[in-house]
Structure 1
Amino acid sequence: MTTQTVHGAASAAARDDRSIARRPKGWTWRRRDAATAYLFIAPQVLGCLAFVVYPLVAVVWESFHATNLLSGVSTFTGVDNYAQLARDPVTPTVARVTLLFSAGLVLLNISLALVLALLLNQRLRGTTAFRTIFFSPVVVTLVAWTIVWNFLLQDNGGINSLLRILGSDGPNWLRGDTTALLSVIVVQVLKNVGLNMVLFLAALQGVPASLLEAAQIDGAGPWRRFRSITLPMISPTVLLTSIITISGSLQVFAQIQILTGGGPANHTNVLVYYFYQQAFQNHDFGYGSALAVVLFLIILVLTLLQWRLRKRWVFLEQD
């Protein structure tokens, strides 16, 4: 048995030597693993280059040109499209509406999601059913959700019909200067608040119960425990939801297209929808591309600003 074992080991060593001899020079295990990793990420990299990087570069390039769709001729105009932003009389209105829409959406979404998560974190009967109810709009198709709310918010729609039964007359929600923007914000919040609620709920369940119990024994009330313990512990999730919600609020398009079409009188015309109007309705691709670049830079700056400020208000990032 010992002789067979020695011969078997010698044969295995000989085979290893022959395989090493046949292996290309410099082809180490580390390089083979690296090549395998590159092959696995190649589809994602190629997809990113084809559908993200190339369109982004093309939009930036187009923003410096004026394109004639009939002749197919593109003329370099420099920064004229960006200078047009300062001359456009609609730009101040679009900027104001974008700011109000994003601020209202972010504040209402995050605050409502946090309140719902705090309520559903309690050990009460029926919390599982309520979690399902609040999260179900997230999985509903966006267009279907918005079309239903479009019928409900009409002058003779379901909401005003219910108000008439209760003895009150509701406004024309989607045609009022103030109610139109508020309606779009509420519809968007109800659509996505369940996602932030689930994220907050997961973060709340990760807060150590021993800390809350110790604070309660020391005499800290509910608000003090929330402000001093719960909120700092879930601050990474607050950062995540803030970045997601802010960037998403600046890209809301389908809801405005279906509900108001940017009206009335541009009172719901945000930057992303104004870009669509210029590029695909007015066929001014140069100016539309400049608006798209400005929108991209706004989202990039806000995201980087939140990321840089994380060390000041995110508990786990503080020194």
Structure 2
Amino acid sequence: MTRTDTRVGPATARPTLGRRRPYWTGRRRDQLTGYLFIAPQLVGSAVFVILPLALVVWYSLHEWNVLAGTFTFVGADNYATLADDPNLGSVLRATGLFSVGLVVLNLALALLLAVLLNQKLRGTTLFRTLFFSPVVVSLVAWTIVWGFLLQDNGGINGLLDTIGVAGPNWLRGEGTAMFSVVVVQVFKNVGLNMVLFLAALQAVPGELYEAAEVDGASRMRQFWRITVPLISPTILLTSIITVVGSLQVFAQIAVLTQGGPGTSTTVLVYYLYQQAFQFHHFGYGATLSIVLFGIVLALTVLQWQLRKRWVFHES
């Protein structure tokens, strides 16, 4: 009778029973490291974004009189006041005019400057510096200087007088106040979008233009068929930044026009400031800030959803 070998080899070794798998595996240590890296950002977002938003919603349900020291729950009364506010329509109209004017002029001028400065010409570095320098200038200082220039007897009208043209009172006219504020803001921030567009233009492969020239495409056709599609992600980025920034304008209005004449330049942020800090209606001011947040959120989501229709490589 042949003896059968019952020894167990390494490949068929039985697992050790009663032995637990260690908790701190390599995967869990990597996850903990990742969470620790993003913890400062999460804490900052919770403290400076989520908590203030929650407090604003809470304040909108109360009437807070700082002078009298009262904090009274009023429920939806502030929202009812919002619906009956006779000034809200003109405020939203002024906000829309400012935002549309700023976004259109800023993006168009920034793209035009970027295309011109992308040419291989002498002195382009100097002009890039000149156009970008207003971005790093203090906003209040920039606005104060333009306030002097746009006065009835300021520098702009002084230049117009030299050619025999009588300039208007730019900041006090119904038809010129909003235009003046928009132009001041465009000149302040156009350099930032110009630099972003310039970086995008320099990333477009030159071989595409060479192939288009061989096919007989004109410069304008090359711009619309090659340049615009390839820089469309940058156009999306700059449009979102510019739209959000246009809805948050405050210092320019406060320094230049104080919302006047009438309410023609009273944008939503400045109206919010008036209600909360001038008239001490903090509950109603919180309600207006929720309206502002809703508008910014809706426009940002709309732009993000529309990107699939016109942004290159987004489908």
- Tell me if TM exceeds 0.5: yes
1:95 aligns with 2:92: yes
Instruction: Give the drift of 1:44.
Output: 2.1
How many residue pairs align between the two structures?
A: 295
Matching residue's letter, 1:269: T
TM-score (ref. length: structure 1): 0.90
* Structure 1, unpaired ranges of 5+: 1-23
Q: Where do residues 209-288 of structure 1 align in structure 2 (5 Å cutoff)? A: 209-288=206-285
Residue aligning to 1:82: 79
Instruction: Spell out, residue by residue over 1:11-51, the C-alpha distance to the aligned partner (whole angstroms, 9 max, x if none).
Output: xxxxxxxxxxxxx9412233233323323322222222111
TM-score (ref. length: structure 2): 0.91
Matching residue's letter, 1:230: T
Residue aligning to 2:177: 180
Instruction: Give the drift of 1:85.
Output: 1.9
Instruction: Give the drift of 1:72.
Output: 3.0
1:145 aligns with 2:174: no
Matching residue's letter, 2:302: L
Looking at structure 2, the residues matched to 241 and 184 of structure 1 have their Cα atoms a distance apart, in angstroms, of 20
Looking at structure 1, the residues matched to 151 and 85 of structure 2 have their Cα atoms a distance apart, in angstroms, of 32
Looking at structure 2, the residues matched to 236 and 309 of structure 1 have their Cα atoms a distance apart, in angstroms, of 12
Contact 2:118 2:201 in 1 (8 A): yes
Over the aligned positions, Cα root-mean-square deviation in angstroms equals 1.3
Contact 2:259 2:266 in 1 (8 A): yes
Aligned to 1:67, the other structure's residue is in SS state: strand
Q: Where do residues 282-301 of structure 1 align in structure 2 (5 Å cutoff)? A: 282-301=279-298
Instruction: Give the drift of 1:163.
Output: 1.4
Instruction: Spell out, residue by residue over 1:89-113, the C-alpha distance to the aligned partner (whole angstroms, 9 max, x if none).
Output: 1111101111111000000000000
Matching residue's letter, 2:170: W
Instruction: Give the drift of 1:159.
Output: 1.1
1:119 aligns with 2:148: no
Aligned to 1:122, the other structure's residue is in SS state: coil
Contact 2:232 2:310 in 1 (8 A): yes
Instruction: Give the drift of 1:166.
Output: 2.3
Aligned to 1:306, the other structure's residue is in SS state: helix
